[in-house]
Amino acid sequence: MGTINFGGVFENVITREEFSLNKAKTILKDETIAVIGYGVQGPGQALNLRDNGFNVIIGQRKGSESWNKALNDGWEENKTLFDLETACDKATIVMNLLSDAGQIQVWENMKKYLTPGKALYFSHGFGIAFEDKTGIIPPADIDVFLVAPKGSGASLRSLFLKGHGLNSSYAVYQDATGRAQDRALALGIAIGSGYLFETTFKKEAYSDLTGERGVLMGAIAGIFEAQYNVLRERGHSPSEAFNETVEELTQSLMPLVAENGMDWMYGNCSTTAQRGALDWKNKFRAATEPVLNELYDSVASGREAEIVIEANSKPDYRLKLEKELAEIRASELWQTGMQVRQLRPTQE
């Protein structure tokens, strides 16, 4: 475990150099790893495990869209692809990668297969952090831990295929066997993590819910809409408003930030852009910090978890979700975006 200085704060991180894939294989050599759920995280983690040579099987509801996707990905029925109950029974490590709502629905049935010495793995702290609302309380005689890639399963897979890794957090909630941390770190390396940093189930859930509702998705979508609307109301064309709001950010500036940081991106922009950004960033920070504190309080109180559980439990949830997504898709902003993407030049 190495100590890294993150802006003056020292953290312990685990890299591939100190925790090798061969070490992970030694730790997990006698394990049968069942990936339960083949939706968002399942395919990426399962395929990376398979390609890395681990004994992995899939548990999924037979005949579902995800079952058929697993078949198309080369998993074989009754060999490496089973119904949820059979996969849980066969496994020594159950990787619960169902949606948060799905985890609640299958928990009572899954729990009976979590016999002493087995391990229960998550990629999100939600179910355990909000156990009073989810009812997910693991048996005391199993290991419980998480590895949470900081991105989608699709990103985890695409980076793996390029020989890269996606950073992940890890946490041990319950160590019944004395091997929980080794199992967690081995799986973190096995699924293709770039490096692993330690957290807790509660901190992972709180930061994840805040991030998704904040900068990663909710805040950025709201700021996009606000700036686009202001430019359109002030007489700018849809193309100009979109390019100055979304296209330049995603295609030009964010890759520079990802490459070397915000200061480096500023240093590679015009002096006019630099001055304006430096003058206005503190105003935006001051305007948004109260909203983000309100958001974090809502997460920590359990209110956001209640909203998610209540919404997902309604039989018409998918229909309402599609209606909301269709409204975004049909907006002038994102219709313009569709046209702009089509105009991007392709390499000959």
- Note the pLDDT of residue 133: 95
The second-level CATH assignment, the architecture, of 2-199 is 3-Layer(aba) Sandwich (3.40)
Using 50, 70 and 90 to split pLDDT, how confident is the model at 236? very high
What predicted TM-score, i.e. pTM, was given to this entire model?
0.91
**Res 347 pLDDT > 80:** no
State the catalytic residues. Answer: 124
Q: What is the number of helices (H) and of strands (E) in the chain?
A: 19, 10
Mean pLDDT for 238-255 is 95
Which residues make beta-bridge pairs with 95? 35, 121
Task: Outline which parts of the chain fall under CATH 1.10.1040.10.
Answer: 211-343
- Note the pLDDT of residue 2: 72
pLDDT tens digits, one per residue of 122-150: 999 999 999 999 999 999 999 999 999 99
pLDDT tens digits, one per residue of 269-308: 999 999 999 999 999 999 999 999 999 999 999 999 999 9
Percent of the chain at pLDDT > 90 equals: 89
Using 50, 70 and 90 to split pLDDT, how confident is the model at 7? confident
DSSP 77: B
**Res 76 pLDDT > 70:** yes
Using DSSP's 3-state secondary structure scheme, residue 201 falls into helix
**Res 28 pLDDT > 90:** yes
**Res 348 pLDDT > 60:** no
Q: How far is CA 316 from CA 46, 64, 304, 311, in A?
A: 30, 18, 20, 9
- Note the pLDDT of residue 145: 98
CA distance 20 to 326: 45
Burial class of 316 by CB neighbour count within 10 A (0 to 12, 13 to 18, 19+): exposed
- Note the pLDDT of residue 6: 85
- Give the mean pLDDT of the chain: 95
Using DSSP's 3-state secondary structure scheme, residue 55 falls into coil
The second-level CATH assignment, the architecture, of 211-343 is Orthogonal Bundle (1.10)
pLDDT tens digits, one per residue of 88-129: 999 999 999 999 999 999 999 999 999 999 999 999 999 999
Task: Outline which parts of the chain fall under CATH 3.40.50.720.
Answer: 2-199
Asked if residues 198 and 56 have their Cβ atoms less than 8 Å apart, the reply is no
Q: Provide the strand spans (E) within 7-135.
A: 9-15, 33-36, 56-59, 81-82, 93-96, 119-122
